């Protein structure tokens, strides 16, 4: 089962990890400063409650033009993953 939780709902996160056996968590981050800070906090919190972080996915990094195949980056390239806490 996959559960999508907003980074602003820490009390829900804590309730979930205390009542449900979890295999791990996947952190999804956009390459902007505030979401990166939220992702770092989430990784630290998950570590404190012994939930493994299975990976970090950077969303909204860029897209490839279907016609010319050129990559365009909406935000800075790979900023989210490079600035996340080391797994």
Per-residue 3-state assignment (H helix, E strand, C coil) for 6-63: CCCCHHHHHHHHHHCCCCCEEEEECCCHHHHHHHHHHHHHHHHCCCCEEEEEECCCEE
Low-confidence ranges of the chain (pLDDT < 70): 7-9, 75-87
In a domain, 3, yes or no: no
Report the number of distinct structural domains present in the chain. 1
Structure confidence at residue 68 (pLDDT): 92
- Residue range of the domain that includes 31: 10-82
DSSP type of residue 67: T
Q: Residue 58's CB: how many other CB atoms inside 10 A?
A: 23
- Is residue 87, in this structure, part of any structural domain at all? no
Q: What is the DSSP letter of 64?
A: E
Question: What pLDDT, on a 0 to 100 scale, did the predictor assign at position 78?
Answer: 53
Provide the pLDDT for residue 3.
77
Under 8 Å between Cβ of 39 and 80: yes
Whether 34 maps to a domain, the answer reads yes
């Amino acid at each position: 089962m996959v559960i999508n939780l907003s980074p602003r709902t820490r009390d829900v996160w804590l309730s979930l990890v205390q009542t449900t056996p979890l295999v791990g968590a996947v952190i999804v981050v956009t390459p902007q400063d505030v979401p990166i800070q939220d992702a770092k906090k989430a990784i630290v919190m998950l570590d404190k409650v012994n939930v493994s972080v299975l990976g970090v996915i950077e969303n909204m990094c860029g897209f490839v033009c279907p016609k010319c195949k050129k990559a365009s980056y909406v935000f800075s390239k790979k900023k989210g993953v490079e600035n996340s806490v080391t797994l």
